[in-house]
A and B are shown apart, each in its own frame.
Chain A
Amino acid sequence: MPDDAARGPRGIVPLGSGVTPQEPEASTEELLALVARGDGEAFEKVYQRLADPVFGLVLQVVRDRAQSEEVAQEVLVEIWRSASRFDAGLGSARAWVLTMARRRAIDRVRAVQAASDRERRVVESSHTVEFDEVAEAVEGKLERRQVRRCLQTLTDVQRESVSLAFYRGYTQKEVAGLLGLPLGTVKTRLRDGLIRLRDCMGVTA
């Protein structure tokens, strides 16, 4: 795959649409290509776009603010360090970064706490992610409304399974244990739920 900047926004044009988006600003994919060449200004722009999502996602998983800050900082430095390894042909820049952030956050939680402690802690608290609480932190975002609306189209089990796996970093076995459901049910709900979210978020004008 060519890894040059030419694979920026054009790389995400839907098949057959023949439409090229008019983007006044460089895409994050293009910025990452510049970052890979040591461009500090490009990195600052990437930071502006992604620091809040990275921090918010890490905070969801880790919960502790000070530790979340450490993890988020690690992730942002890692973007700088490994920008050359990003391949726009394999996914968007945001997916690359947020996947990295989630994994680091999950690693941190697992390093800090034995799994049994963590499960007990969560069983004692609420199962579900408080979207209302989160919503107050960042307002006016189209995506937030989209995600919230789309999450409401899921069944309870789909929504809880996806939330626990994504925002809490549980394995599907842990999700099954927490929800008292057969593993097979959780497997299919995770997939069905994500597919429904994908279709919901992808098809709404």
Chain B
Amino acid sequence: MNAINGSAGNGSAGNGSADVHTLAGGYALDALDANEVAAFEAHLRECAACAVEVAGLRETAAVLGFAVATPAPSAMRARVMAQIARTPQLPPEISSEPQLPAEVSPGPQPRERDESKESGPTAGEGRAPHRIPGRRRSSALNRAFALAAALAVLLTGGLGALGWQRAHTAEEARQQLAQAVSIASDPSAQRQTASVTGGGQVVVVVSDGGAAVLADGLADPGDGKIYQLWINHPGEQNMRSAGLGPAGQAASSNWARLVEGMKPGDAFALSIEPEGGSQAPTTDPVVLVNT
């Protein structure tokens, strides 16, 4: 299965209509039957880019929903408020396992839905259950996939809180993400998850085709500071710069960068440097990963 096939910014459906990837649209709209869902989710497990695409298409669908907003009956508000006053809340799910891309789909679990229903049957015949548990991947792979899906949301975030994005920003971001996720979705790639001093995590992915780092929840590096990426080849004394991460608050949202020149066996590090970057690290790395 070709992981790059589902490159997030690519509108082409591949060269054959039988391509399972064309199910992404129907999947995002819950318009698949159970067999189709199973086929597509099997594909999703191999294709982080597809998870990215599905997340983006779901965000698009949400805007379609907003477009048909209709004033709700005024009496409904009082009834809802009265009902929540006597409705207990679910506790958070305590799990160190990140969710599978198949679970990128928002919405409660089917089991919970049933519990919450006052009456009425669940999904009708012919339609797939809303979620199908997948096989567990390795934790680092899950992490990479979940982050890739989160990053897809950033790309379409203009549909959410941000207003409309400028084309070049979205396109650049999409291209960078597409490359990072195609590396992240290479089944033969090595992946390592590491905690970062000051908070957050990174996943470092190294494949034959290149390397990427996916970051989540890092601390704001501070005014005039930036995260800088470093690699160290075995046997070499000095760290080499492998590019810059985001500055300021953008550093603490999800982000991804390609790590140029990194090969299996290299060490990866991040340090906080003055804006513009440094020739060599001037502070202790906040994370160091040996691959």
Enumerate chain A interface residues (CB-CB to B < 8 A): 1-3, 6-7, 9-21, 23, 27-29, 36, 38, 40, 43-44, 47, 51-57, 59-60, 69, 72-74, 76-78, 80-87, 89-103, 106-111, 115, 131, 134, 137-138, 141, 143-144, 146-148, 162, 165-167, 169-173, 175, 184-185, 187-199, 201-205
B224 to chain A, nearest CB (A): 13
Which of A16, A94, A97, A106 counts the most chain B CB atoms within 10 A?
A: A16
Pick the contact of A52: B70, B126, B146 (CB < 8 A). Answer: B70
**Shortest distance in angstroms between B195's beta carbon and chain A's nearest beta carbon?**
12
Interface string of B242-281 (1 = CB under 8 A from A): 0000111110111110000000000000000000000000
Residues on B with C-beta less than 8 A from A98 are: 61-62, 65-66
Partner of A87, one of B73, B99, B167, B172: B99
Q: What's the Cα separation between A82 and B89 when bound, in Å? A: 6
CA–CA, A90 and B101, complex, Å: 9
Q: Are A144 and B67 in contact (CB under 8 A)?
A: yes
What sequence of 0s and 1s flags, for each residue 61-102 of chain B, a beta carbon within 8 Å of any chain A beta carbon? Answer: 111111111111100110111011101111111000011000
Q: How far is the CA of A89 from the CA of B142 in the complex (A)?
A: 13
Given the interface contacts A17-B169, A27-B161, A44-B81, does A166 sit within 8 Å of B104 by beta carbon?
Answer: no
The reply to whether the CB of B159 lies closer than 8 angstroms to some CB of chain A is: yes
B124 part of interface (Cβ distance < 8 Å): yes
**Nearest-Cβ distance from residue B169 to partner chain A, whole angstroms:** 5
What is B's interface to A at a CB cutoff of 8 Å? 11, 13, 17-18, 22-26, 28-33, 36, 53, 55-73, 76-77, 79-81, 83-85, 87-93, 98-99, 103-109, 112-113, 116-118, 120-127, 130, 146-147, 149-151, 153-167, 169-173, 176-177, 200, 216-217, 246-250, 252-256
CB-CB under 8 A for A84 and B89, given A99-B106, A201-B159 = yes
Residue of A6, A51, A185, A202 near B159 (CB, 8 A) is A202
Q: Is the pair B29, A10 in contact by a Cβ cutoff of 8 Å?
A: no
The answer to whether residues A53 and B66 also contact, given A14-B158, A14-B170, A202-B165 and a CB cut-off of 8 A, is yes
B122 to chain A, nearest CB (A): 6
A56 engages B123 (CB within 8 Å): no
Contact A76 B80 (CB under 8 A): yes
- CB-CB under 8 A from B83, the residues of chain A are 73, 77
A43 CA to B83 CA in the complex, in Å?
Answer: 12
Given contacts A190-B25, A194-B29, contact A15 B66 (CB under 8 A): no
Which residue from B58, B85, B93, B154 sits with its C-beta under 8 Å from A12? B154
Which 7 residue pairs are nearest across A and B when measured between Cβ atoms?
A: A110-B124, A191-B25, A12-B157, A56-B70, A96-B106, A190-B25, A184-B17
Contact A193 B149 (CB under 8 A): no
Instruction: Give complex CA distance A29, B162 in Å.
Output: 13
**B26 interface neighbour in A83, A131, A190, Cβ under 8 Å:** A190
Q: Which of A28, A173, A187 has the most CB of B within 10 A?
A: A187
Given contacts A90-B55, A190-B29, contact A99 B61 (CB under 8 A): yes
Q: Which residues of B have CB within 8 Å of A2?
A: 200, 216-217
Question: Is there contact, CB below 8 Å, between A21 and B11?
Answer: no
- Give the chain B neighbours of A131 by CB distance below 8 A: 67
Task: List, in ascending order, chain B residues with CB within 8 A of A141's CB.
Answer: 66-67, 69
Contact check: which of B33, B65, B76, B167 meets A57 at CB < 8 Å? B65
13 additional contacts (CB under 8 A) given A100-B107, A143-B67, A202-B156: A1-B146, A11-B153, A51-B76, A57-B68, A84-B92, A89-B147, A94-B62, A94-B65, A101-B65, A102-B30, A166-B61, A173-B33, A194-B61
Q: In angstroms, how far is the closest chain A Cβ from the Cβ of B90?
A: 5
Question: How far, in whole Å, are A77 and B84 apart by their CA atoms in the complex?
Answer: 6
A16–B22 Cα gap in the complex (Å)? Answer: 29
Are the CB atoms of B72 and A205 closer together than 8 Å? no
| Cβ–Cβ < 8 Å partners of B84 in chain A | 40, 43, 77, 80-81
Contact between B72 and A72 (Cβ–Cβ < 8 Å)?
Answer: yes
The answer, among B58, B73, B118, for a CB contact under 8 Å with A74, is: B118
CB distance from B12 to the nearest CB of A (A): 9
Question: Which of B24, B98, B122 contacts A107 (CB under 8 A)?
Answer: B122
A184 to B17, CA, bound (A): 6
| Chain A, residue nearest B120 (CB) | A111
Task: Contact check, B248 vs A90: say whether CB atoms are below 8 A apart.
Answer: no
> When the two chains form their complex, are residues A103 and B70 in contact, meaning their CB atoms are under 8 A apart?
no
Q: Would you call A171 and B126 a contact (CB within 8 A)?
A: yes
Which residue of A has the minimal Cβ distance to B130?
A103
Complex: A87 Cα to B100 Cα, angstroms? 13
